[in-house]
Chains A and B, each alone.
Chain A
Amino acid sequence: MSPAPLLELRQLVKNYGGIRALRGVDFDLRAGEVHALLGENGAGKSTLIKVVTGAHAPNGGTITLAGQTVSGLTPATARALGIACIYQQPALFPDLTVAENLALRLNAPSPATRMHWSDCRARATRLLARIGAEISPDAEVRSLSMPEQQLVEIACALGSGARIVVMDEPTASLTQKEQHLLFAVVRDLRQNGVGVIYISHRLEEIFALADRVTVLRDGQSVGTHPVAGIDEAGLIRLMVGREVAQIYPAAESAPGAVVLSLNQLGCRSSGVSNVSFDVRAGEILGLGGLVGAGRTELARILFGLTPADSGTITLNGQPLTLRTPQAAVAHGIAYVPEDRRRHGVVLDLPISHNLTMAIHRRLFPTTWLRFGAERALTLDYIRDLAVKCSGPEARGGSLSGGNQQKVSLARWLATKPKLLILDEPTQGVDVGAKSEIHKIVRRLAKEGLAVILISSDLPEVIGLSDRIGVMGGGTLRAILPGGSDPHVVMAAALGTAA
């Protein structure tokens, strides 16, 4: 009855180096439907979008547009074929006006033609009116709010006559009223026969807006369902799916005294509010949640990078104010950051320099460098954590991801911390190194360290933690026991009752 779908993906495969981001995804989008795409962090949603918009070429499978198989898709051809994408962070030129931005996107670039600015302006006005946005075409994009910029992006997509519109978490930064405006626009698009791929973590939006939903897990589609025929619990089950397959080293001793205690902690500039929990010596507190839940932001507060403006931090019974990383280090707080190439390891410096960076005062009390002591310490940690390298002089940049992570970890272990915060310690790390890191973390806890483990890897958080704090929207949503049912954790992260 229906003609060929607008977009059809068959057995799509995409590898990044050794990592299989997409391993055979099937997906189709019909004209005049909103098709939601759902999945955990790292399930392959962004990769799928990148392939569909031509940013990355797939390693296998077919892409069929309106019945025609296309290959060698580039961003330009994708746009020419009517695919538009609205990212979370609008990619407009902040110093140009709305009309100029639209003209840049929609006019064929040619150096010698004269610009008809009045036409451009009229078109901008028309497009903005069509989506009901009250934005002046002469406004500089810089002066617009994030949601207004998104509306401009949508106007762009409309103006380009896109048949397929991809929206990646479009409501992440919108207020209630703006959300309704956006929903109206999406419904209007659907009315006009446009196919919308809608990505969101908010289940209620999916139920309010989408016609069908496809769930991705570990780079595979695990099912496409009409929204009418599935409920929240069913979706969560699809998202989590697998069992905790890996064996995690278990806790062997009861946690000791409370090391860190947070009370109503918040920081307005980074969107964290009202976080209260305790971490005990010898305990691993996992922090689960989706991207943007506020976990890294919380860690940055505890490490003095973005000081708190409300609430209290108590370490070993003493209230603290942490305004700089130096203060945090002096109090025995260590933070192994998420972005190890930018923050965790200085790639141009040798392992030994990287390792002693945070203990200059202790290792070199007279400020004179002691190369022998530094080398000995570095060799100790290389052996202890089994860092694969050519020696203490090997540059940080010459190591693999897992070994960089070990160096970053070793730097902080060398500070003999009381509290260790690990932010995504196994992201982008191969399986072997991952389980080694798990063992190290458990061993550290056994030795009496209080550990906060931030991880988007659900099995890891559940398997390794003694307790799991689930964050969402910048605050703590729940504290669950270790080994909790993944569905419960995911439900808490999504903010729905499971």
Chain B
Amino acid sequence: MAALPPAPSTGLGTWKSRLLSHEMLLFYVLIALWLFFYFAGTTVNRRGVTVGFGTLDRQFDILRHSCEIGLLALALTPIIITAGIDLSVGSLLGLCAILFGQLWHDGGLPIPVAAGLTLVIGALAGGLNAVLITALRIPPLIVTLGTYSLFRGLAEALTRGSITYTDFPASFLYLGQERWLGLPTQAWIFFAVAIAIGLLVHRTTFGRAFRTIGFSPEGARYAGIPVARRLALAYVLAGLVAAIAAIIYTARLGQAKADAGTGYELFAITAVVLGGTSIFGGKGSVIGTLLGVAAIAVLKNGLACLPVVMRMNAAEEMSGLLTGALLLFALSAGVVSQLWSGFRQRASAT
């Protein structure tokens, strides 16, 4: 007990490499999934049905359909790193889509102005979450469960559950349905947001603060970090990004309706957690979130071109089932590796 050699470092080096390995692992799974669907999809092609998975068009289609959930997942990443949660982003997407439609259609505002106002509204809605969480100290889960219903309810009320805004100008639909410089137009926005949030989380003092709060809110407070303001930033940002997702959603479908984005928050949370961000806070990365989004997207779209699934007409159900299984596997793999390292530490301590 007396003269032990210094224990091997359990510093950031190993922690980082473990995180990296989680992301690398997810990356391999993603490649494997893709290859599987690529070859499984070709057989369909040989039978003369043109739903091949491996085509470039198909990839772009997947990307196009992933942008909204991807944006929400990006918005949730800083929040989950602070050990918080935001269940209201999907509902806020719906509310913002409706408000955007109203501002343009009923308010007669030009599209860019309506879009700008929608972003402000999104940020304000995120601000409502932020105030309830930081000033009144209500747990994020409860607050955003409330605003989850509130935002969706408002959207339904504003449209009396029936109005759908359509007939958007082609110049606007270009954002959601065309390609720009070879990629689906909205993908550029998605990547820009991804880079911005990536930089925020990994390269700025704000990201540091998120991580510190996630690991130890009390420790952050005692270090003079403005905990409430940093948390507020994360939720306001989520509101803003949800509004961006709402505009893209409207542009892709060419219509704004109250049920836009229903259930998206769960896909987004799944993608974040699958990407290695700890629901307990502190650990996580934006790259991981992107991989998580990609894995879910490939799984969902790939299943749709499997002949077996097509015959059963059960792509949705299958993708839900497999996403759930993948998520549980990823989570338990994380816990098992933690238990293992804890066990090794204890073994080396005695």
B226 in contact with A360 (CB, 8 Å): no
Q: A393 to B224, Cβ gap below 8 A?
A: no
Nearest CB on B from A297, distance (A): 15
A348 to B282, CA, bound (A): 8
Assembled-state Cα–Cα distance A326/B220 (Å): 11
State whether A342 touches B218 (Cβ < 8 A). Answer: yes
For the complex, is A474 an interface residue (Cβ under 8 Å from B)?
no
Name the one of A346, A360, A390 contacting B9, with C-beta atoms under 8 angstroms.
A390
Q: Are the CB atoms of B224 and A346 closer together than 8 Å?
A: no
CB contacts (< 8 Å) of B224 on chain A: these are: 325-326, 328-329, 357-358
Interface status of A198 (Cβ within 8 A of chain B):
no
A393 to B9, CA, bound (A): 9
Asked whether, in the complex, the Cβ of A342 is within 8 Å of the Cβ of B205, the reply is: no
B212 within 8 A of A: yes
**A residues less than 8 Å from B215 (CB atoms):** 346-349
Q: Which A residues are CB-close (under 8 A) to B219?
A: 342-346
A117 at the interface (CB under 8 A from B): no
Q: Do the beta carbons of A364 and B205 come within 8 Å of each other?
A: yes
Q: Is B168 part of the binding interface, using a Cβ–Cβ cutoff of 8 Å?
A: no
Q: Which of B188-224 contact A (CB under 8 A)?
A: 203-209, 211-212, 215-216, 218-224
Chain A residues whose CB sits within 8 angstroms of the CB of B220 once the complex forms: 346, 357
**Cα–Cα distance between A369 and B201 once the two chains are bound (Å):** 11
Within 8 Å of chain A (Cβ to Cβ): is B225? yes
A397 to B206, CA, bound (A): 23
Smallest CB separation, B101 vs chain A (Å): 36
Bin the interface of chain B by size: 20 to 34
B218 touches A398 (CB 8 A): no
Chain A nearest Cβ from B154, distance in angstroms: 34
Main secondary structure of the interface of B (DSSP, over half): helix
Asked if B136 is at the interface of the complex by the 8 Å CB criterion, the answer is no
A482 contacts B by Cβ under 8 Å = no
Q: CB distance A395 to B10 under 8 Å?
A: yes
Q: Is B169 an interface residue (CB 8 A)?
A: no
Q: Name the A residues within 8 Å of B218 (CB-CB).
A: 342-343
Q: Say yes or no: B208 contacts A325, CB within 8 Å.
A: no
CB pair A325 B13 closer than 8 Å? no
A335 touches B222 (CB 8 A): yes
**Complex contact B204–A368 (CB within 8 A):** yes
A305 on the interface (CB 8 Å rule)? yes
Interface residues of B in 217-241 (CB under 8 A from A): 218-226
Interface residue? B12 (CB, 8 A)? yes
Q: Whole-angstrom distance between the alpha carbons of A394 and B225 in the complex?
A: 22
- Per-residue CB contact flags for chain A residues 388-403 toward chain B (1 = under 8 Å, else 0) read 1111011101100000
Q: Mark A331-347, 1 if CB is under 8 A from B, else 0.
A: 00001010000111111
CA A391 – CA B221 in complex, angstroms?
25
**Contact in complex: A398, B7 (CB < 8 Å):** yes
Residues of chain B lying within 8 A (CB to CB) of residue A159: none
Nearest A residue to B211 via CB reads A349
Q: Taking the complex as formed, is A249 at the interface, i.e. its CB lies under 8 A from any CB of chain B? A: no
Residues of B within 8 A of A324 (CB): 226
Question: Is the Cβ of A390 less than 8 Å from the Cβ of B11?
Answer: yes
Partner of A344, one of B6, B13, B222: B222
Complex CA–CA separation, A264 to B219 (angstroms): 30
Q: Is A318 an interface residue (CB 8 A)?
A: no
The winner among B205, B209, B212, B223 for most chain A CB atoms within 10 A is B223
- Categorize the interface residue count of chain A: 35 or more
The distance from the CB of A168 to the nearest CB of chain B, in whole angstroms, is 27
Any B CB within 8 A of the CB of A367: yes
Query: Are A325 and B222 interface neighbours, CB within 8 A?
Result: yes
A-B contacts counted at CB < 8 A amount to 96
Asked if residues B205 and A360 are in contact (CB atoms below 8 Å), the reply is yes
Nearest Cβ distance between residue B286 and chain A, in whole angstroms? 15
Indicate if the CB atoms of A353 and B208 lie closer than 8 Å.
yes
Closest to A352 in B: B12
Known: A358-B223, A358-B224, A364-B205. A394 touches B12 (CB 8 A): yes
Q: Tell me the nearest residue of chain A to B207, going by C-beta.
A: A369
A346–B7 contact, CB under 8 A?
no
Residue of B11, B218, B225 contacting most chain A CB atoms (<10 Å): B11
Q: When the two chains form the complex, which single residue of A305, A348, A361, A398 contacts B221, counting CB atoms closer than 8 Å?
A: A305
Bound Cα distance from A353 to B212, whole angstroms: 9
B11 engages A395 (CB within 8 Å): yes
| CA of A419 to CA of B290, assembled, Å | 46
Q: Is B180 an interface residue (CB 8 A)?
A: no
Selected contact of B203 from candidates A345, A368, A388, A398, CB within 8 Å: A368
Q: Whole-angstrom distance between the alpha carbons of A212 and B295 in the complex?
A: 74
CB distance from B124 to the nearest CB of A (A): 24
Known: A346-B215, A353-B212. A395 touches B15 (CB 8 A): yes
CA distance A411 to B219 in the complex (A): 12
A350: Cβ under 8 A from any B Cβ:
yes
Q: Is the CB of A391 within 8 A of B205?
A: no
Q: In the complex, are the beta carbons of A367 and B11 less than 8 A apart?
A: no
Q: In residues 380-437 of chain A, which contact B (Cβ within 8 Å)?
A: 388-391, 393-395, 397-398, 411
Q: In the complex, A113→B209 CA distance in Å?
A: 54
Q: Tell me the bound Cα distance from A26 to B15 in angstroms.
A: 49
CB <8 Å contact, A398 and B9: yes
Do B208 and A337 touch across chains, with their CB atoms under 8 A apart?
no
In the bound complex, CA of A367 to CA of B225 (Å): 13
Question: Do A342 and B216 touch across chains, with their CB atoms under 8 A apart?
Answer: yes
Contact in complex: B208, A346 (CB < 8 Å)? no
In the assembly, what is the distance between CA of A391 and CA of B15, in Å? 14
List residues of chain A with CB within 8 A of the CB of B9: 390-391, 393-394, 398
Residue of A nearest to B199 (CB): A368
Contact at B212–A391, with CB atoms within 8 Å?
A: no
How far apart are the CA atoms of A154 and B177 in the complex, in Å?
76
Interface string of A317-329 (1 = CB under 8 A from B): 0000000111011
Interface string of A450-474 (1 = CB under 8 A from B): 0000000000000000000000000
Within 8 A of A (CB), among B141-172: none
In the assembled complex, the CB of B224 is this many whole angstroms from the nearest CB of chain A, namely 4
Instruction: Point out the residue from A344, A346, A361 that lies within 8 Å of B212, measured CB to CB.
Output: A346
Give bound CA distance, A295 to B220, whole Å: 22
CA distance A369 to B211 in the complex (A): 14
CB distance from B54 to the nearest CB of A (A): 40
Q: How far is the CA of A357 from the CA of B219 in the complex (A)?
A: 10
Beyond A343-B222, A357-B212, A411-B223, is A369–B204 a contact (Cβ under 8 Å)? yes
Q: What's the Cα separation between A389 and B12 when bound, in Å? A: 12
Q: State in angstroms the CA–CA spacing of A364 and B225 once bound together.
A: 14
Cβ-defined contact, B11 with A350, below 8 A = yes
Instruction: Show 28 A/B contacts (Cβ-Cβ < 8 Å), sorted by A.
Output: A18-B1, A324-B226, A325-B224, A326-B226, A328-B224, A345-B219, A346-B215, A348-B215, A350-B11, A353-B208, A357-B208, A357-B223, A357-B224, A357-B225, A358-B224, A360-B208, A360-B209, A360-B225, A364-B205, A367-B205, A368-B203, A369-B203, A369-B204, A390-B6, A390-B9, A390-B11, A391-B11, A394-B10
Known contacts A346-B212, A361-B205, A397-B10; 7 additional CB pairs below 8 A are: A303-B222, A349-B212, A364-B205, A369-B204, A393-B9, A394-B9, A398-B9
Task: Give the B-binding residues of A (Cβ under 8 A).
Answer: 18, 303, 305, 324-326, 328-329, 335, 337, 342-350, 353, 357-358, 360-361, 364, 367-369, 388-391, 393-395, 397-398, 411
